[in-house]
Structure 1
Amino acid sequence: MYAVEAFARLLNEPALTAGDLGWPGGPVSAPEDPWRGDPVTWITQLGRNDMLDRREALTASLYSLGAAALPERLHRITRRAGEPRRAGAADVARIRETTRAFGDLDDLYGGGHARTALAAYLTHDVAPLLRGTTGAARPELFVAAAEASYLAAYMASDAGKAGIAQRWYVQSVRLADEAAAPVMRATALRGLAVQAIELGHNRNGRDLADAAADGIRAGAPARTRAWITGMRAEALAAASGDRVRARSLLHAAEADLECADSLPEAEITGAYRRESFAHQVGLTFQQLGDLAGAEEHYAASVQSRRTIERRTRALIGARLAYVQLRRRHPDQAARTVLDLSDDLAGISSERVHSVLGQIRAGWSPLRRHPAVADADRLLASLR
């Protein structure tokens, strides 16, 4: 007890526990409800668990269906321990610039690269700023923290850490709530929806996507509306197979995207351009069983991606190859994989490797074919 107190004072971490230091601190309990408690404490603990590889991280890595449903009543924080301090525009700018830097690394190398560094940044640099903060910049500070938490969630999801990603997303929602920022809240809810669909929890994904759309009915940039409406189309297709309504949502998303006037990189949703929409259409068509349509749109998306988007190009290219294989075109699938060789090198993305594993399993009987054999050797060398 005295040693923990000494370390807490030395590190200026009053909430430090024996478990944070890797010492026995009682039995590991089931994951707590991430919708309750202080979101600032949550991001501190999530970061510590990630950095220190604590035993609690094993239970925190589990995806929770309970947490995938929005609570009927939100748990509000009315009081938070911490020394009073005034946040300024410089604090907000610093967090956003750092988040952009980590986002660029994610685009280049995948979520498995530098993920724990972002968790450390949130724990040691961002969370302390949020405690006891006052001043006119406080809301924007919480929005910036929500953006960083969203990126931590996205990277964790890409790295295959589903439970940790879910908890980061939830805290992003709650930080946005505290800042009264409905667009940021909808952004984080969309992230939860994407994750639910990718894990096969289609009804949860549909409900979360609908909740994201409900949150911006009072107004949002056209590009943001397109981004969320496109996700609603995919979620609806996955949950119900309703072709008519899914296509209607895609048309609405495309109409919003056509009239979007925000600069493409001005916000989190700013990267939602024509090639992003093409990927969304491909995902929706794949959910509807239209593999030919999915192949067409995946190919269009891959071909128009920027140089920095290596992980995204690798992921969509892998999805393209998988669809080509399902359409019984192994030669095309093999060529697509071989064309991705430069992008696949150095990518740390469990999402990408999961799709590649499906491809290897699918063409297993065809490995004597020269093109397939070459592509399979490439995939075998990646692990």
Structure 2
Amino acid sequence: MPPKRVRPISNTALAAAIEAAGWTRTQTARHINAVATENGVPLHYDHSTVGHWLTGTTPRPEGICAGTEAFRRGLRRPDLVPGDLGWPEVAGLAEAADDPWQGDVVARLTALGEDDMLRRRTVLTAGAFSLAGLAAPPASSARVSARRGGAGDAARIRDTARRFGDLDDLYGGGHARHAVAAYLVHDVAPLLQGTAGRARPNLFRAAAELTYLAAYMAMDAGANGLALRYHVQTVRLADEAGDRVLRATSLRSMAVQARELGHDREALVLADAAASALGGRAPGRTVAWVTGMQAEAHAGVANRQDALTLLRRTEAQLERVDSSPEVEWTGNYRRESLAHQTGLALTALGDHVAAAEHYAASTGSRRPVERRTRALVGLRCARAYLRAGDAERAAVAVLSLREYLEGVVSARVRGELRVLRQGWVRCRADAHVAQADVLAAGLLR
């Protein structure tokens, strides 16, 4: 028999939210801690902390912000505010004064890279996925001359970004991310400050490509707050360069991030904004890439017919493309990419058997360099099998990924492994499940 409660629940709003999310107190603390860690403010709450909140104690401001975001995801309620949890609003942490869409873009990028490189504690904001500033024009401001750059510098930055990108594909976003941040701070930002004239747009375009990679790597490493701030600066750098395709590229990736974190309405707005940024004037492969994201985003908000129509449109667009994927840096979209995106859309629509088939097709046709993507998509395939009720097939899928899982440093991959372990807990008597569980446990240790 549980011990008699000494103090009754006084925060009924929080209690109702925990019940609606289906969480225990320990799980509540874990979700909040995870959000805080993403944003550079590690917290160490546990079940007893949540118990204190239920009896009327108010969390620290950073706890309120992380808790609000955790429940937004858990309840699929992006409009949720601290008051819905019985907590006061937090002043000063999400004010417009720290709006990443404002201020000098080079100064913002430098500060962001230094935070990342030095692993500084960054400000935790409640409004991590606010769309209010999407249409804001880039701020114009004078820059102090530093180092003058030219065409050769832009080419060097692009070449460096490609090499870092290959490392990301091979080993995941957790590998070499701080080196990318250091390169941005020490080599790229000074050139942006000191360059004017005809060389400037091309240099800003190259910087946007590298910042986009930094954003993607941060997201894969689980630093989602940092990743979003990188994405914002990518959009602003693209605007400085006058590059609509790069703007669309980053907006699309912001939509991917929003979808993965449970902000489905925001994901749809961002995907549509990416399509709008293209304005129909982009390489065909890039257009298909953005259309595919719109399809997935519509599936996320249960617009089944629109999602399926857009998937068919994406396939038709991809079939008409006559260029090699490597020719187009933005939207390097392939048949295996479409198969993955179709799997994600079908997962959102609840068709797990068909989703597994598409994930499997995507995994099987990946290039050798795509170790991280093969691991991630393969685990999503396993998860689809598990959701369809086939734990043994899920386990076999995981076991087939052993060589790709080992050595990959990716929070998204680790997240899929954790979900799988939780999902097949009642099936561990099966030999394949037991073997796969040992593998997953070792990788997570």
Taking structure 1 as the reference length, the TM-score comes to 0.88
> Is residue 290 from structure 1 mapped to residue 351 from structure 2 by the alignment?
yes
Give the equivalent residue in structure 2 for 1:195: 257
Give the equivalent residue in structure 2 for 1:40: 106
Structure 2 residue matching 1:108: 3-state secondary structure: helix
The C-alpha deviation readout for 1:161-187, integer Å capped at 9, x for no partner, is 000000000000000001110000000
Distance between the aligned counterparts of 1:217 and 1:70, measured in 2?
19
What displacement does 1:263 show? Answer: 2.2
What displacement does 1:48 show? Answer: 0.8
Identify which of 149, 164, 167 aligns with 2:229: 167
Distance between the aligned counterparts of 1:318 and 1:218, measured in 2?
35
What displacement does 1:271 show? Answer: 2.9
Q: Which runs of 5+ in 2 are unaligned?
A: 1-61, 63-91
Distance between the aligned counterparts of 1:179 and 1:360, measured in 2?
46
> Retained in 2: the 8 A contact 1:291–1:323?
yes
> Is residue 99 from structure 1 mapped to residue 165 from structure 2 by the alignment?
no
> Is residue 363 from structure 1 mapped to residue 413 from structure 2 by the alignment?
no
> Retained in 2: the 8 A contact 1:265–1:271?
yes
C-alpha spacing 1:71/1:303, structure 2 compared with 1 (3 Å): closer
The C-alpha deviation readout for 1:278-301, integer Å capped at 9, x for no partner, is 001110111111112211100100
What displacement does 1:218 show? Answer: 4.2
> Retained in 1: the 8 A contact 2:129–2:258?
no
Give the equivalent residue in structure 2 for 1:350: 411
What displacement does 1:369 show? Answer: 1.4
Higher relative contact order (CA 8 A, sep 6+): 1
Distance between the aligned counterparts of 2:126 and 2:296, measured in 1?
21
Distance between the aligned counterparts of 2:240 and 2:298, measured in 1?
29
Identify which of 289, 305, 312 aligns with 1:227: 289
> Is residue 78 from structure 1 mapped to residue 78 from structure 2 by the alignment?
no
Give the equivalent residue in structure 2 for 1:113: 175
Give the equivalent residue in structure 2 for 1:16: none
What displacement does 1:247 show? Answer: 1.1
1:198-347 → structure 2 map (5 Å cutoff):
198-239=260-301, 241-347=302-408
C-alpha spacing 1:380/1:237, structure 2 compared with 1 (3 Å): same
C-alpha spacing 1:158/1:270, structure 2 compared with 1 (3 Å): same
The C-alpha deviation readout for 1:124-161, integer Å capped at 9, x for no partner, is 11111100311322111111100100000000000000
The C-alpha deviation readout for 1:312-349, integer Å capped at 9, x for no partner, is 00000000000101111111001000000000001100
Structure 1 residue matching 2:109: 3-state secondary structure: helix
Distance between the aligned counterparts of 2:398 and 2:147, measured in 1?
55
Give the equivalent residue in structure 1 for 2:120: 54
The C-alpha deviation readout for 1:265-287, integer Å capped at 9, x for no partner, is 12333531000010011101111
Larger deviation, residues 219-228 vs 245-254? 245-254
Taking structure 2 as the reference length, the TM-score comes to 0.76
Distance between the aligned counterparts of 1:211 and 1:174, measured in 2?
14
RMSD: 1.6
> Retained in 2: the 8 A contact 1:63–1:162?
no
What displacement does 1:84 show? Answer: 7.1
